[in-house]
Each structure stands twice: as structure tokens, then as C-alpha cells.
Chains A and B, each alone.
Chain A
Amino acid sequence: MLEIKNLHARIAEDETEILRGIDLTIKAGEVHAIMGPNGSGKSTLSYILAGKEDYEVTEGEILFNGENMLDMEPDERAAAGMFLAFQYPIEIPGVATMEFLKTAMNAQRKARGEDALTIPDFMKRVKEQAAHLNVSMDMLKRPLNVGFSGGEKKRAEILQMSLLEPKLCVLDETDSGLDIDALRVVSDGVNKLRGPDRAMVVITHYQRLLDHIVPDVVHVLSKGKIVKTGDKDLALELEKNGYADFVNAA
């Protein structure tokens, strides 16, 4: 589903190189975890997948279901099935959450040549997913993410993900800021989306999340490179020994 080949990227503004040759292949149905020290480039990688313009790819390529992802606009990527749950979801005052959800869902449907959702159908879907994720309808009456607590913002991201039904889900530290119960609720929500046609990249600092969302593969990213790849036990090892062993190798 996703093939990243020798990806080098820098900050467009000051040309600082952040990603320094990433190779990563993710097949449909798989869940990959990416761990790594602060500042190693995890969020940068997720932004580049989503199409943020602050970064410039200087080398390498990204294929998304065989298509050159770097040629696609952010909204085209989304319609093709890319979803990024942001590490820091931003507040958008003046944009009503429900209106936003409807616009996003219908824009993607339109891009795929599907009919717009009817209002009752849309409402039904939102209510259903919101209930699963313990998101109150009151929260959805507010402007997008405005005044949401840190944990509420993360849950709202997963709500969006559940509604948009993407093919590739990239979760950037979705667990940080979640209380223990919310972590379970969110993980259940994510696990519900697991399936043979969907792939996931879970970026996290904590092994605990991976007890809930059990990954097929775990990668360690350090200084813009993947320095170690293993199975879920790698996360346990990291939890015990920290990154020291790998960081030096980078």
C-alpha cells in the first residue's frame, strides 16, 4: 500500500535536512509502529505523507497504492485514502465541527465519484461513531477543536478517521494526552478499523499503546533514518533500555 524509498527531506524555508534516507514498505492489513526520540523526524514524515508544503523532498519517492504520492495535493491524497491524525490538532474558530465533517466526507466522496451523503445518513454515521468514541454531541456543536481538551482533540481526530474510512491511517502520538480510559476507547476505535484493506502507521513514545493496538512491525527512527526494525517485542526492549543503543548507531 505504501512504499517509501530513500526519502530525503528538508525544511523548505531553511534547508535543514530532517529525513535522511527512509525506506519503509507497508502492506495492506499491516500495522507498523514508529518510535524514536524527540526530534527524530516522526512528525515530519507524517506531514510529508499528508502533503504539508513546509517540507521539500530532495531525494527518493513515495508510492501510495502504486501512485506517486508526492505529485498529489493534500486533498487528493485524502480522497485516495490517506489520513493523518495530527499530533497537535489545531483549533479552527468559526468552522462548525459538523459542517466541517460533512464538507470533508462529501468532498472525498465527490473526488471518488460517489454521491453526497444525505443529511440523515450523515447524522446517523456521526452519532454512531461519536457514541463509540465517547464524543459528546455537545462537543460537535462547537467550532472545530475549539476549546476541546487535549484528550478530546485526540478523540475527535479518531472520530474523523472513523467517518472518513481511510485506507492508510497515520496516527501521530494519538495516545499522548489521553487518560487510561480514553486510551482504551480510542484504541478500540482504531482496532475496529483494522482490516485486510487498511494499513496503519502508529507513531508513539509509549509501549503501552502497543498493548492495545498490537503492531505487526516496529521501527525505530533516529535522526531522520530508520535504524532498527523488529516485531512488537522491540517496543518492549525500547521501554526497558531506552534509545541509547540505536541512537548511537544512526
Chain B
Amino acid sequence: MNVTAPIAHTQGESDLIARFDAARDNLAGTVSIGALRSAALEQIKAKGLPHRRVEEYKYSDLRAFLKSAAPLAATAERAATEAALAAADTFGDLERYKLVIANGSLVADLSDISALEADGVSVTDFVEALGSGNGSALLANPMTAPNDGLLALNTAFVQGGVVLSVKAGSQVSKPVEIVHVAASEGAQTTRCRVEVGEGANLRLLETFVGETGSGEINAVFDYQVADNATLATTRLMIGEASAPRLFTSIAHIGAEALFKSLGFIAGPEFTRNQQFVHFQGENSEAKVYGVGMARGKGLADQTLIVDHAVTHCNSREFFKTVLDDQARGVYQGRINVAQHAQKTDGEMMTQALLLSEEAEMANKPELEIFADDVLCAHGATSGQIDEDLLFYLRARGIPEAEARTLLVLAFLSEAIEEYDEEDVTEGLETRVRDWLAQRS
């Protein structure tokens, strides 16, 4: 291992170090958790925040972007939490259970814990789980990203979250929404672990509401999908925000299982949605969809590693990016197929729609295949709205703005329809319309 000279810290990094010193005694966990946190912070201290000379962050230089870092959000006040919840409209009147995480901590009495219990789902406060015997296992990094900078930040600062455990065979009757509420300004660092037991079925919704000011959001979701189980998870992050929105998904998928996800992220100035999917059992399927929308000088980064470590698994990755103004989009996707992972079927597609001449997309789909009997493909496109289609719509009397909107919706709909969770995604059209209506 190279010994690197200590780096000169940016203001953002110095703020993070100071934040850690200020918060460390109040951060949850046992002594060994504390050691993990310190080690994670040491990593940031030594290497700095992820920056463009780190391959995976080449296009998403968090170090340059994070000019300063806010303190961690203080414990949420009840009234503010309720107000932020009331003002938020995440999934309309979709029937669902709710779990509320406010300023990084589970709010038990605003959460449907006993109802979930009755439906086969046990809910534990992440802080409590961290304090248990195998707490440190909850902070494990994915094999394909052992030293990821966002994960290090998360480990150092994680305030709380939830552990959801779906009993074997449970078909949870309604989707479960984990609402992350910013009840006041400040950074929010959360981690949720979702265990879907053998043969069980869960639909998860992950939402983020309220204003964090200059505080970043760093949220990690760790999914364990057991044999024959199904997990469909929808992540929704819509709205303007000047501080980074950093999301990580880690999925471990057992045999004969199905993992589906849709990440829908529109608005913030700097977002990264990174996902690490690992097949651990045969005959399983992962369907990973993503929508990223950015404007102004914003960045929408969707990064994905799918690890086919066993035979006979299918994965489908379909990502859409819509960029306006001088926004930048990033798609980095890699399908790894291990030497013994024969009969792997992987198909990855990334498509960008540029609404302005100055918007830029970096598409980097990759296949790393060591097995010989596999079916893998990838593709990438990047283009503007087709003028002929636009003309056809306008020639039928549809005004230009509406015609453009229809074509953007059409562009996105391919991925959203394939995700095939119609009741969950039906509200997204309005979101996209609202987003487009704010075009300058």
C-alpha cells in the first residue's frame, strides 16, 4: 500500500472534521462502532472527499463541489416534523404504511410500527440495532466498493435510520414508505437496512422531504433479499436543493429472487445515486431503473455496479437522464460477470435527453465479463428532442411547450413502464410536468 502524503484539506473537509469532533461523543453505537466511525473519518482525512482523480468520481467531484459543510441536524422538534410532513406530498393518496425518520432519527410514534408488525414486518430503530452485538455488520461496505467515499462519510456520521425485517413468507399488503424528513436545517446521515425474508414480498418507497439548507443528505439503503423473495423499491427525491444529495443502495440477492428498483431524482444541484447489486443465489433477477433530471448547473449522477457472481441470473439496467441549461449528467454502469457465472443475461441501457445545447452527458456503460457463456449487452444514447416529432405534435395544435413535455414524458415512460409499479409511479407524470413548467 502506498503511503500518501497528508493532503491539504478543503474548507468542506475541514468542516467535516470539525463536525466529527463536535459530534463524536453523541453519535450512536458501541465502542467498536465508534472505532469504525473514526476509521471512516480518517479515510476522509487522508484521501479527502471523493474527487475527479478517483475513477468512480471522475465526473462528480464532490470535493470541489462541497465548499462548506453544515453541522449535523439537531434532534427534530415535533411541531417542525409534523409541519414538514404535512407540507410534503410524496405519493398522494396511495395506500401505504409510513415510517418517519426526522433529522436522521426514527420517530416511532409517527410511524406505523405496530401495524407493520401485524403485517409481518418488524421495525427496529437503527440506533438500537447498532448497539446490539453485531452492530458493526450493519455498516459493512459492498464488496465492489470497499473504500467508497460516500460510504465512509455515512459510516462516520450516521445518525440513525431503521431496520426493517420482513418475516419469511410475508406478503406485505401495502407499500412501506420511509419518509426522511428535514425538520430543520443541517446535514442528515441515515442508514436503513431492509431484510426481505424467504418467499416474502415487500414494496418500499424512499422519500426525502423538507429543507436541509446547506446540509447534505447522505442516505444508505442496505437490502437483503432472501431466496424466493421480492423487493421493489422506489426512491423519490424531487425538489431544489443546493447541498449534495448522496444516495447509496447495496443489494444482496438470494436465489430465485427478484429485486426491482426505480430511483427518480429531479432537481438538486448535486446528486449521486449509486447502487451496488450482488447476486448471491442462482436464477434471480434484478431490474434497476433510474431517472435523473437536472437543470441550471446541476449534476445528476447515476452510478451502478451489478455483480453477477453466480450462474443463471438476469439483470436489466435502464437509465434515463434529462438535462436542461448547463446541467451535467453522469451514468457509470458496470456489469461484472465472474468466470463461473455462466448463463448470465445482462442488459444495460442509458439514454440522455438534452433540452439545451449546453447540457452535457457522460455515459459510461461497461461490461466486465470473465465467463464465456453469457448474454450481455449495453448501449448508450444521448440526443435532443426530435424536431420531426415535435412538429408532428404541433401540427395537430399542441403548443410547443406542451409538445416538448409530452416528448420528455414519452422518453421517461419507457423506463417507468418497464419498472411496472403503476400505482406507485402514476404520480410521477405530474412531477415531471411541474419540473418542466419551471423551465426558464
B396–A160 touching, CB < 8 Å: yes
A53–B391 touching, CB < 8 Å: yes
B395–A50 touching, CB < 8 Å: yes
Query: Count the A residues whose beta carbon is within 8 Å of the partner chain — how many?
Result: 28
Q: Which residues of chain B are near A84, meaning CB under 8 Å?
A: 395
Contact residues, B383-412 vs A (CB, 8 A): 387-389, 391-400, 402-403, 406-407, 409-412
Stretch from A26-34, A37-45, A99-107, A122-130 forming part of the interface with B: A99-107
A104–B391 touching, CB < 8 Å: no
Q: How far, in Å, is A113 (CB) from chain B's closest CB?
A: 14
CB-contact partner of B391 in A52, A100, A164, under 8 A:
A52
Contact residues, A84-109 vs B (CB, 8 A): 84, 86, 89-90, 92-95, 100, 103-105, 107-108
Instruction: Tell which of B389, B392, B411 has the most Cβ of chain A within 10 Å.
Output: B392
Q: How far, in Å, is B160 (CB) from chain A's closest CB?
A: 40
Q: How far, in Å, is B305 (CB) from chain A's closest CB?
A: 29
Query: Which B-chain residue is minimally distant from A82 (CB atoms)?
Result: B395
A73 at the interface (CB under 8 A from B): yes
B410–A94 touching, CB < 8 Å: yes
Query: Which A-chain residue is minimally distant from B409 (CB atoms)?
Result: A94
- Contact status of A51 and B414, CB under 8 A, knowing A90-B388, A90-B389, A107-B402: no
Measured between alpha carbons, how far is A108 from B387 in the docked complex, in Å? 21
B136 at the interface (CB under 8 A from A): no
B413 at the interface (CB under 8 A from A): yes
Query: Which B-chain residue is minimally distant from A101 (CB atoms)?
Result: B396
A226 at the interface (CB under 8 A from B): no
Q: Which residues of chain B are near A143, meaning CB under 8 Å?
A: 410
B410–A95 touching, CB < 8 Å: yes
A75–B394 touching, CB < 8 Å: yes
B406–A95 touching, CB < 8 Å: yes
A94–B411 touching, CB < 8 Å: yes
CB-contact partner of B392 in A92, A93, A103, A111, under 8 A:
A92
B397–A104 touching, CB < 8 Å: yes
A215 at the interface (CB under 8 A from B): no
A79 at the interface (CB under 8 A from B): yes
Contact flags (1/0) for B363-387 with A, using CB distance below 8 Å?
0000000000000000000000001
Q: Which residues of chain A are near B402, meaning CB under 8 Å?
A: 103, 107
B394–A93 touching, CB < 8 Å: no
A107–B397 touching, CB < 8 Å: yes
Q: Which residues of chain A are near B392, meaning CB under 8 Å?
A: 86, 89-90, 92
B391–A93 touching, CB < 8 Å: no
Q: Which residues of chain B are near A103, meaning CB under 8 Å?
A: 398, 402, 406
B398–A107 touching, CB < 8 Å: yes
A164–B396 touching, CB < 8 Å: yes
Measured between alpha carbons, how far is A77 from B406 in the docked complex, in Å? 20
Q: Which residues of chain B are near A164, meaning CB under 8 Å?
A: 396-397
B396–A104 touching, CB < 8 Å: yes
Measured between alpha carbons, how far is A95 from B385 in the docked complex, in Å? 14
Q: Which residues of chain B are near A51, meaning CB under 8 Å?
A: 391, 394-395
Measured between alpha carbons, how far is A84 from B396 in the docked complex, in Å? 8
A92–B410 touching, CB < 8 Å: yes
Q: How far, in Å, is B349 (CB) from chain A's closest CB?
A: 14
Q: Which residues of chain A are near B410, meaning CB under 8 Å?
A: 92-95, 143
- Contact status of A78 and B389, CB under 8 A, knowing A73-B400, A93-B410, A95-B407: no
B389–A74 touching, CB < 8 Å: no
Q: Which residues of chain A are near B397, meaning CB under 8 Å?
A: 75, 78-79, 104-105, 107-108, 111, 164
Measured between alpha carbons, how far is A53 from B390 in the docked complex, in Å? 11
Query: Which A-chain residue is minimally distant from B405 (CB atoms)?
Result: A103
CB-contact partner of A75 in B387, B398, B413, B414, under 8 A:
B398
Q: How far, in Å, is A57 (CB) from chain B's closest CB?
A: 16
Measured between alpha carbons, how far is A111 from B394 in the docked complex, in Å? 13
Query: Which A-chain residue is minimally distant from B412 (CB atoms)?
Result: A94
Instruction: Tell which of A84, A89, A103, A160 has the most Cβ of chain B within 10 Å.
Output: A103
Measured between alpha carbons, how far is A107 from B414 in the docked complex, in Å? 25
Q: Which residues of chain B are near A52, meaning CB under 8 Å?
A: 391, 395
Q: Nearest 4 CB-CB pairs, A to B?
A: A94-B410, A78-B397, A108-B397, A74-B394
Subset of 20 A-B contacts with CB under 8 Å: A53-B387, A53-B391, A73-B394, A74-B395, A75-B395, A75-B397, A75-B403, A89-B392, A90-B392, A92-B392, A92-B393, A92-B407, A94-B410, A95-B406, A100-B396, A103-B398, A103-B402, A103-B406, A107-B396, A164-B396
Which A residues are closer than 8 A to B by beta carbons?
A: 50-53, 73-75, 77-79, 84, 86, 89-90, 92-95, 100, 103-105, 107-108, 111, 143, 160, 164
Which B residues are closer than 8 A to A by beta carbons?
A: 387-389, 391-400, 402-403, 406-407, 409-414
Known pairs A73-B394, A90-B392, A164-B396 / 16 extra A-B pairs, C-beta < 8 Å: A53-B391, A73-B399, A74-B394, A78-B395, A78-B397, A89-B392, A90-B388, A93-B410, A93-B414, A94-B409, A95-B409, A95-B410, A104-B398, A105-B397, A107-B396, A108-B397
